[in-house]
Amino acid sequence: MSKRLRDPVHGLIVFSDSDPIDMLAWQLIDAPEFQRLRRIRQLGVSEFTFPGAVHTRFAHSIGVYHNARRLVEVVDREMLRNKTRGSPERAEVAKVAALLHDLGHGPFSHTFESVQVSRGVKRRHEKWTADIIRNPDGTIRPLLNDYRAGFCDEVAGLLESDDPTDIYHSVVSSSFDADRLDYLQRDRMMAGTGAGAIDLDWLIDNIRVAEIDIGAPDEGEDPVKKIATFCLAKKALPAAEQFLLARYTLHQQVYFHRATRCVEHMIGKLLRAVATHAATGEMAAELTGLVADHALLRFFAPDGETVANYLALDDALVFGSLDLLVRAQDPEISDMAKRLGCRQLYKTLDLADFGEDLGTQRRSLRRISGMFEAELADGVATVMLDDKASISIYSEIGGDEDRMHKKLHVLDAGRPVEISKVSPLIRALEDKKQFTRFYFEQAADRERAKL
Amino acid sequence: MNEAEDHVAAIICAAGGRLVSRIRMQKIAYLLDQLGTESGFDYQYHHYGPYSRDLDNAILDATAFGLVEEKHEHRQSDGARYSVFVCKDMGKKSGFGRLGEEKASELVRLFSETNVTVLELAATAHWLAAVEKVPDWQQEIVRRKGPKTENGRLAKAEVLLGRLQLAPANT
């Protein structure tokens, strides 16, 4: 029998009993690894700032699957237009990869990754995703390989690759991938912001398939390889501009909101302190307030970074442990747990408050860092520096340049060109804008820093 | 000790006062650090291989404090934008740690003339072998970088690492 879900963004999502990949998707949704995504919020702690933003990676992932099915139909449509043949097997890989793409997120997603980075761990959530899919002790792998021999590796492999190999990769990673088409709508709706509407149906109707060079742009022409990806017909240029502006606005107003970033840093400080005690081992339970076999202590213990221990972590576990963490002998942990429980935030100073001049901002950064050198030190952190958020029309959280296949291309006289070539509006937003903030435990310190 | 922005300016000076592409700048800084420039930058794996947010901030400081100018040009074929860095004080020296000024300058000139994708592959191969310690780094780099490894580019990256005596070529 067909299965149905209702979704605030996409309406009725039907899993047809006549479509084997839909039935596999339904089984995958029931897997414990996927059900865990119910306990990881899509926007982490944004609900401290936008109370409605409590939607989960579970709902998002189902929305991404729904979009992936629509995009595969676009691929079929464009194959027909271009008189080329598609690959039903690759289409299945893309749909399932879209559904499972977020399995590897840890609690509070990017915040947890930054905790791991500060501990010297060089492992991305994409790697966790692939490991969870391939886990021989898990439930995902047998479901995939029972569907088709080798299917598990095909799905994990698509998610691990940085660069595209064919048009089906575009369903999962491109300027119009299924992920982006879901989160831009869902995050906007759930955050309650009116900024940045997206004309989705018009955009999808105007998607075309064309080949672009995936090599990083450089002086001279030395193409790496041309790969088919999603581009837009020129008549959709205004809608494409709005689409990119929506993404820009969400970063500016929601993802990089100063209060949200402050809470992320506070949780990071809390988790780092827990991790330090867990790694040492001695008195970890007493110092953290957690029970001795708590999932956080298991994961952060030496050799504790296993898939099983990782899957035991989620947002709900951390927030549900605040009452234990309040009892920690380590006053840092205890204080932070109390603060998070009642939203008593550190005090934020944004360098933009000193004016838009970049030189003034960077000199202020240097002056304040010097003033509070001891307070900023690892293990103290009564003052925290946030200098890792920047946006441009393309750069991602973390700041690296975006890849060519993630940049939006428009067909100009039938030839794909990067949108900024034909849109002065987008060209104006190409430069990176940096958000640099300090978070102070003591309000008096913030006042001193302002002087 | 020199400030991080001085290191950025010194790399551009060593390249002859002009360096093309932020991605190239990132890979040059990474490879130089493996050879002993001791910039203090921390690197993480991103889409183009090892990437340092610290270096990104140092570039920001170098432009904000007037040491470097960042211009933008566009690829003729598709309009894709890339950065061109110009050094405004050609006398800028970094010291380049234990690698030394002369050797570092020679290498920067070499890297500035190397295809940016080959540099990306060289830095990524080193990262996989030396940092992530992936046992079969060749299989992994093909998995992650796909078509970029084709047409002899991965072989060129290996030759470059061999010349630098860096992993995985030296293992």
With contacts defined as CB-CB under 8 Å, which chain B residues touch A157?
A: 143
Is the separation of the CB atoms in A204 and A175 below 8 Å?
no
CA–CA gap between residue A95 and residue A91 (Å, rounded):
6
Is the separation of the CB atoms in B120 and A163 below 8 Å?
no
With contacts defined as CB-CB under 8 Å, which chain B residues touch A400?
A: 46-48, 51
Question: Would you say residue B1 has pLDDT above 50?
Answer: no
Give residue A219's pLDDT. Answer: 87
With contacts defined as CB-CB under 8 Å, which chain A residues touch B79?
A: 417-418, 420-422
Residue of chain B minimizing CA distance to A362: B61
CA–CA gap between residue A201 and residue B96 (Å, rounded):
54
Residue A293 is which amino acid?
D
Beta bridge partners of A440: A347, A383
Residue of chain A minimizing CA distance to B81: A217
Contact B75 A359 (CB under 8 A): no
Which of B27, B75, B153 is the mutation pick for testing A, counting most A CBs within 10 A? Answer: B75
Give the DSSP letter string of A341-355.
Answer: HTT-PPEEEEGGGG-
The H or E element that residue B139 is part of is helix B137-145
Low-confidence ranges of chain A (pLDDT < 70): 395-399
Question: Would you say residue B32 has pLDDT above 50?
Answer: yes
With contacts defined as CB-CB under 8 Å, which chain B residues touch A223?
A: 77
Contact B44 A401 (CB under 8 A): no
Find, among A13, A9, A7, the residue nearest to A26 by Cα.
Answer: A13
**Nearest CB neighbour to B79, from listed A359, A361, A417:** A417
Q: What is the ipTM for the molecules in this complex?
A: 0.89
Which of A163, A396, A412 is the mutation pick for testing B, counting most B CBs within 10 A? Answer: A163
With contacts defined as CB-CB under 8 Å, which chain B residues touch A404?
A: 80
Residue of chain A minimizing CA distance to B5: A362
Which of B8, B60, B112 is the mutation pick for testing A, counting most A CBs within 10 A? Answer: B60
**Nearest CB neighbour to A421, from listed B66, B74, B120:** B74
With contacts defined as CB-CB under 8 Å, which chain B residues touch A222?
A: 115
Before B168, cis peptide (omega within 30)? yes
CA–CA gap between residue A61 and residue A97 (Å, rounded):
10
Shortest Cα distance, chain B CAs vs residue A281, angstroms: 25
Residues B152-163, mean pLDDT to the nearest whole number: 97
With contacts defined as CB-CB under 8 Å, which chain A residues touch B24?
A: 218
Residues B52-62, mean pLDDT to the nearest whole number: 94
Shortest Cα distance, chain A CAs vs residue B11, angstroms: 18
Cα separations (Å) of B13 from A128, B40, B59, B101, B164? 41, 20, 14, 11, 21
Contact A359 B82 (CB under 8 A): no
Is the separation of the CB atoms in A352 and A361 below 8 Å?
yes
Residue of chain A minimizing CA distance to B132: A122
- Strand residues in A340-432 grouped as ranges (E): 347-350, 383-391, 409-412, 415-418
Cα separations (Å) of A437 from A47, A250, A348, A406? 20, 18, 7, 28
Summarised one tens digit per residue, pLDDT across range B88-129 is: 988 777 779 899 999 999 999 999 999 999 999 999 999 999
Contact B77 A223 (CB under 8 A): yes
Summarised one tens digit per residue, pLDDT across range B4-19 is: 999 999 999 999 999 9
Shortest Cα distance, chain A CAs vs residue B95, angstroms: 22
Half-sphere exposure of residue A109, counting CA atoms within 13 Å on the CB side? 18
CA–CA gap between residue A131 and residue A116 (Å, rounded):
17
